[in-house]
Amino acid sequence: MNKGLDFIRKARLVQVNTIKELSIEQLNQIPKGFNNNIIWNMAHLIATQQIVCYRRAGVEPILDADFINAYAPGSKPEGPVKSEEIARIQELFFSTLDQFEQDLQAGLFNNYTAWTTRAGVDINTIDDVLAFLPYHEGIHMGYIQAQKRVLSP
């Protein structure tokens, strides 16, 4: 198992446990001072992983473009997410990592296109992505925890 993926899995498990007692309304609520909500942040992590791992390597993402575009960087919640989609997001939270690990072992990411993150980090290879993704996950874990703290009861 890759250390970066192991860290992401553990962080995502913490996130799932952090929100397990929240209602659908709370997951969809955009707290004052934020421009998104908890469920958007979770789906955003999935979409971003698809973009930076698959698309930037010229590999077809696992997920459809509608999902990825709805939660891509620069997007925002367009309406409430229903219980079925919440369940799907929670399932994808881990299954996409499992598939990515299989694809990584199969060598699918050898044609990676270099880019620079908004944080100024140069990403040149899939190994760079694996070093960067835990940082991105941590940022959004912080947002999820902050949003949970300010949600109305």
Task: Express each pLDDT in 67-86 by its tens digit.
Answer: 999 999 999 999 999 999 99
The per-residue pLDDT for range 53-67, each reduced to its tens digit, is: 999 999 999 999 999
Pairwise CA distance, residues 51 & 138, whole Å = 18
CB 53 within 8 A of CB 126: yes
- pTM summary value: 0.94
pLDDT band at 151 (very low <50, low <70, confident <90, very high): confident
Which residues partner with 115 through β-bridges?
123
How would CATH label the architecture of 3-150? Up-down Bundle (1.20)
Backbone angles phi, psi at 116, to 5 degrees: -120, 130
Q: What mean pLDDT is reported for the chain? A: 94
State the pLDDT at residue 2: 83
pLDDT at 152 over 70: no
